[in-house]
Structure 1
Amino acid sequence: MHAIDTTESDELSAIDLAILDAGRACLAEFGVRRTTLTEVARRAGVSRPTVYRRWPDTRSLIAELLVRELRGIVQRTIPVRGPARARLVEGIVAGAATLRANPLFAKIFRTDTDLMLTYVFGRIGRNQRELMLLFAAVIREGHRDGSIRAGDPEQLATMLLLISQSAVQSAGMVGELLDEDQLDAELAHAVDGYLIPDGGERLA
């Protein structure tokens, strides 16, 4: 399966990558609140000023880590060929499943629940904005190829964010009613039904 190319335009240095790798390891082990730039610097084998010159605080480093993590998931899950609706359904279902199994996001869901509540109920974070931009771009392609119903792309993308976010964050709550395969199937059905144009045929 070919995937959307979301390669970053700016190259990261070996030191940047070492810091990000160390930050990822800390986040997966400790969660958001217990991750410190001091520990990240130690694991990366660099000085604290080296880290601070690149990221002024832990929150900014973690934000970039999570955006990069999400970008990598997008690269692996959304195809670039085929009707836009089919690609978006496949990508959202596969992406949600990947996120549920991802150690970084899983750690945050378990240990930093109040931070997740901020993103769910308080404001839209960088990760959500990245997803909405991606969804809107594919929705515009769907308008051109006729596979997605009419509607404002940003508004449709916002609703897709809510649907997919719920399928990630609330999956454990309904685990006794929907196992992983059933959840994937119902999510695909929901997204396809939301995007199908009048008179269109559902995906097989």
Structure 2
Amino acid sequence: MKKVMLILFLLIFFAGGCAKKIVIDSGEINSIDQSLNIIKETLNKNSPSKDYKYYKTIHSDNFRLLAFTWVHKKKDKLYIKTAEVYGKSPKVYIARSLGEYFVKVSGGTIYGCYGTSKKEPVIGFKEIKVDWNLLDNRGCDQSIKISFNNKEDAERFAEALAFLLKQYKEEPDMFEKIRNEKTEIKVKSENKCSVDKILKMKEIGLTREEIKKICE
């Protein structure tokens, strides 16, 4: 009997934690201002913790570089989630896991970081520069994931994000370019500057030019 109950529990657990992805379109959103207002409303209700409140979203002109920021209520610092999206036709979707709804982006080359900083992110020429606080929890990955407490907020945010990503005009994939430059440098100088090392260097805020010099 105990064995049967354990199996049932595991089935329920995995069913709740591995729900089917739902791809989201821009819905009835018809303007950039409307999208940014929805992002503001939804992120204001879904901060990283009770110690933070939504501050603002910083973005590039084509909306493929985004930095979502929250300000600490007592301390002089920001919590930041960055998103860099390159390539054609990225898809925004929602997945549910352990009671939370996650908005994710797939397709093309995706790159995202999270952490804290005392300074606002700077959107430069095809890159986001952040002066990360090295003492707080932080990280980078080839993915973007933002969590929400309820499905309605997740759907509204996903629709707004999908609309912004549609404003993109095709241009070179800069992250892949960095990968290619790294490969060329390795062939010429036998330098073992791996992609993981490049990710770590971007994580601490180094620019593409600085990374290239280090790898050379």
TM-score, structure 1 normalization: 0.31
Larger helix percent: 1
Larger strand percent: 2
Question: Which of the pair has more CA radius of gyration?
Answer: 2
